[in-house]
A = this chain, B = another copy of it.
Amino acid sequence: MILGALEAGGTKMVCAIGDEKGVIIDKTIIKTTSPDETMPNIINFFKDKKIDAFGICSFGPIDLNRNSATYGYITTTPKLQWANYNIVGTIQEAFNVPIGFDTDVNGAALGEATYGCTRDVLSSIYITVGTGIGVGFYHDGSLLHGMLHPEAGHIMLKRHPLDHGKSVCSYHENCFEGLASGTSIEARWKRKAYELADEKLVWEIEAYYIAHAIINYIVTLMPHRIVLGGGVMHQKQLFPLIRSNVKSMLNGYIKTPEIQDIDNYIVPASLDDNQAILGCFKLAMMELYNTNSQIK
């Protein structure tokens, strides 16, 4: 079986061809400019490859409601050229095969749960901390959606007492993304995350926010494991700080084997930045076999 994967991002489109075992046969990166320029390049990559099914994971917000007139669209993104763009329809028209579709971070959660570091647990969340912050929740074969896909990067948090910076979220003064995304770090400290590796206070504040968000996800979703990915998480010094903050914030309230073994509970992404691509392969299979129960 030949599967096509498209991880659609705001700055780049990762395209890959692979199989159901998660083996990547070919892969390319195409710059995200306008749909008119970018999409033909994508289609060209996949052309004549005999793709049986596609998985597309996209930046958003996206419309995942199959009963909606705009199902398969990128909707209200600030990247205006892509707003109200029918990304699924464009691929469908070119290839006419089944297409699975979900958010980029749900794709990453699915990739880890199928081929990566959460394939041994029933439920897991994947948090990406990069330019923005997103969260995907996988539970027993399904990805969570409701009236919309989760937007859990926008939970409201209590400020760190030493953080007097402004939120970079244009909607929320105190949301996780506004206070702790890579964009926020850069705005607060006037340098990029990777240039700040030795600044203790930067990572104390960052770990506080990530731990605070994790506490809220734990008590709400009770995942069996939490995966942290995205550019900011390349700062490996964050992991022990986050774990110790989570322990002190929980304050012994949740006593489970998972929390006791916190080094294996809060873990880095495991698939060399291919987690969403591999999730696309799985999405493609779920669509092909009609087991994609998560989109209602």
Contact = CB atoms under 8 A, between A and B. Distances in A.
Contact of A216 (B76, B144, B220): B220
Contact of A122 (B156, B251, B252, B296): B296
A48 interface: no
A219 B157 contact: no
Given A76-B255, A146-B139, A146-B224, A219 B159 contact: no
A209 to B, nearest CB: 11
Interface in A133-158: 135, 137, 139-140, 144-158
A245 to B, nearest CB: 11
A151 B223 CA distance: 12
Contact of A146 (B122, B149, B249): B122
B253 A220 contact: no
Interface in A167-221: 171-172, 174, 212, 215-217, 219-221
Given A253-B171, A253-B172, A221 B146 contact: yes
A216 B255 contact: no
A3 B17 CA distance: 54
A148 B220 contact: no
Number of this chain's copies in the assembly equals: 2
B144 A221 contact: yes
A223 B76 CA distance: 21
A140 B140 CA distance: 13
Interface residues of A, number: 48
A144 B158 CA distance: 26
A258 B224 CA distance: 30
Given A122-B296, A216-B156, A223 B147 contact: yes
B159 A158 contact: yes
A222 interface: yes
Contacts of A221: 144, 146, 150, 220-221
Contacts of A256: 147-148
Contact of A219 (B140, B152, B259): B152
A274 interface: no
A256 B149 CA distance: 11
Given A146-B221, A254-B151, A258-B147, A215 B156 contact: yes
26 contacts: A122-B146, A122-B296, A123-B146, A123-B147, A137-B220, A144-B221, A146-B224, A147-B223, A147-B256, A147-B258, A147-B259, A150-B219, A150-B221, A151-B253, A156-B158, A156-B212, A156-B215, A157-B158, A158-B159, A158-B174, A171-B250, A171-B251, A172-B251, A172-B253, A216-B216, A217-B220
